Amino acid sequence: MIDIIHEVYPYLHVRGGPAAIDFHKEVFGAEELVRLEQPDGRVAHAELRMGPATVMLADEFPEYGIRSPAAFGGTGTTIHLHVDNVDALAERALRAGATMVMEPVDQAHGERQCRIRDPFGHEWLLGHPIPAPSR
Give CB contacts under 8 A, 24+ apart, made by 42-51: 42/17, 43/17, 43/18, 46/17, 46/21, 48/21, 48/24, 50/24, 50/81, 51/81
Within residues 30-49, the interface with a second copy by CB under 8 A covers none
Closest distance to a second copy from the beta carbon of 40 (Å): 20
Closest distance to a second copy from the beta carbon of 45 (Å): 9
Closest distance to a second copy from the beta carbon of 129 (Å): 10
**How big is the chain by its Cα radius of gyration, in Å?**
16
Within residues 57-116, the interface with a second copy by CB under 8 A covers 64-65, 67-85, 88-89, 92, 101-102
- For residue 9, state whether it binds a second copy (rule: CB under 8 A): yes
Q: Smaller CB distance to a second copy: residue 76 or 131?
A: 76
Closest distance to a second copy from the beta carbon of 3 (Å): 5
- For residue 21, state whether it binds a second copy (rule: CB under 8 A): no
Asked if residue 112 lies in contact with residue 124, where contact means CB atoms within 8 angstroms, the answer is: no
DSSP secondary structure, 102-126, as one string: EEEEEETTTEEEEEEE-TTS-EEEE
